[in-house]
Amino acid sequence: MEKKTKKNNKKSKNKKAGKKERREKNRAKKAKTQKKIKKNTKTKISKKIKTKQKKAKPEKKKLKTIKKVQAKGKAVKKQKQKIKFLTAISGSYPRIGDTEELQKLRRAWAKREVGEISEEEYREVEKEFIKLAIEEQEKAGLDIVGDGMISWYDQISHFAKNIEGVKINGLLRFFDTNTYFRQPVIDDSTPNSPQIKPCTLDDFRFAKTIAKRPVKPILTGPVTLSKLSKGDLEKALEIYTKLIENEVKLLSQEGAEYIQIDEPALQSKDLDKVLPYLERIYNAKSNPSTKIIYFFYFRDFSEDFEDLQKIPADILGFDMTYSKLEDKIGKTKIQKPLMLGIVDGRNTYIEKPKDVIPRIKKVLKNYPFDFMILSPSCGLEYLPRDFAFRKLQNLVKITEMLRKL
């Protein structure tokens, strides 16, 4: 009995141990299964997230592309409109050439001086050479031409001789050039309100009958005229201002699209005194559409550039051959459209586009207007005729390259 009880107890214990073992195995299995489920769930979630991220990437790319396009659109809107480049003569054109025919004006002048031909006969020869100057400018491809200042003896006495009571003295050198001017004298014997005759109107009228393109008449400004005259500076400034007022009024009435006023002697320090005179000249325009250009040459105008923008004008022109004026222009707020003298009117060297174009590009970075005039740095009378023509051709070539940029 005792033995049987012991045996049963042992079996019972073994049964219990087996049950316990099975329970533990089941628990371990369950835990393992749950772990697997969790792992699979995590993998699925991770895969879903990755899939979503993958889908999101093209969306982000799309957004980036849209933003880029929008930014580009804004940039296009902000981008300046394309600049219209015009080419123009800046002053004189050679009166003579190498052939016998091109010496005709010089011979006619000598004959007139000794009375062999009349003033009228001489004028007919002048007209021939004005016509020839315009034809050569148009052949070179200029957009705006001039009469070549063929009838001018010089840039000072051409105006002074038309004023009552102004005497004309001997010759003085014109700035640092190889040309001379006859110096006017304005003193006590000159009337305060002298009679003044037109100086450029006849040549302009004649040039218009020849030219197929706009003709730009040129005047010497009152400050330069006054400074290069002898005598009373204040009186000279008043008289010359009246003369230039009259010229502007008549030329504007006659249909001049542009009138250029040369002021190589004007400096910043003069402005406080002379601005009222220049205001009068600007207001003398009969036609509001006539554009007044002030042109400055024969020196470096870097120091004056900012101040000269106060001048009442539609366009300001500068000789670019004396300095790297483009550096100054690039750092200054440009308040008026520009005419830039980019080819040297006093040197036979033919400029290379690769040297000139980068200079213009510097100006364009800071240029708020829709047109720009390009010209020689000064009149071309300082060059042989064939080189003057080649200079104009080169100016047109450079401008055409700029138009394609």
* 292 and 182 belong to one structural domain: yes
Q: What is the DSSP letter of 217?
A: -
Specify the pLDDT at position 98. Answer: 87
**3-state SS, residue 385:** helix
Q: Which residue has the tokens 């004649």?
A: 206
Residue 69, pLDDT score: 42
* Model pLDDT, residue 100: 86
Give how many domains the chain has, as a whole number: 2
Q: Which residue ranges of the chain lie beneath pLDDT 70?
A: 1-26, 28-81
Separation of alpha carbons 148 and 215, rounded Å: 10
50 and 92 co-located in one domain? no
Contacts (Cβ under 8 Å, ≥6 apart) of 365: 330
Q: What is the DSSP string of 87-144?
A: EB--S---S--SSSGGGHHHHHHHHHHTTSS-HHHHHHHHHHHHHHHHHHHHHHT-SB
Token couple for 86: 């015009």
Distances (CA, A) of 348 to 103, 140, 388: 21, 16, 8
C-alpha dihedral sign at 312, 313, 319, 325: positive
376-391 per-position pLDDT tens digit: 999 999 999 999 999 9
- Determine, yes or no, domain membership for 152: yes
Residues 48, 132 within the same domain: no
pLDDT in tens, 111-154: 999 999 999 999 999 999 999 999 999 999 999 999 999 999 99
Examine the domain organization and report whether 153 and 265 are in the same domain.
yes
Listed residues 63, 79, 95: the one ending a domain: 79
On whether residue 2 sits in a domain, the answer given is: no
Q: Answer whether 200's CB lies under 8 Å from 161's CB.
A: no
Specify the length of the chain in residues: 405
Alpha-carbon distances, residue 248 vs 149, 204, 220, 285 (angstroms): 17, 12, 11, 6
Asked whether residue 9 is domain-assigned, the answer is no
Any alpha helices (H) in 336-405, and if so which ranges?
Answer: 353-364, 385-403
Domain range enclosing 161: 84-403
Residues with Cβ within 8 Å of 260's Cβ and at least 6 positions away in sequence, in order, are 90, 91, 216, 217, 218, 219, 293, 294, 295, 317
Q: Could you tell me if residue 358 is inside a domain?
A: yes
Is the residue at 122 inside a domain? yes
User: 209 and 73 in one domain?
Assistant: no
- 5 within some domain: no
User: pTM here?
Assistant: 0.81
Could you tell me if 91 and 63 lie in one domain?
no
Query: Which residues touch 89 (CB under 8 Å, ≥6 apart)?
Result: 137, 142, 144, 145, 146, 148, 216, 375, 376, 380, 392
- Is the domain of 214 the same as that of 302? yes
Q: For position 72, what pLDDT does the model report?
A: 47
Q: What's the confidence (pLDDT) of residue 168?
A: 96
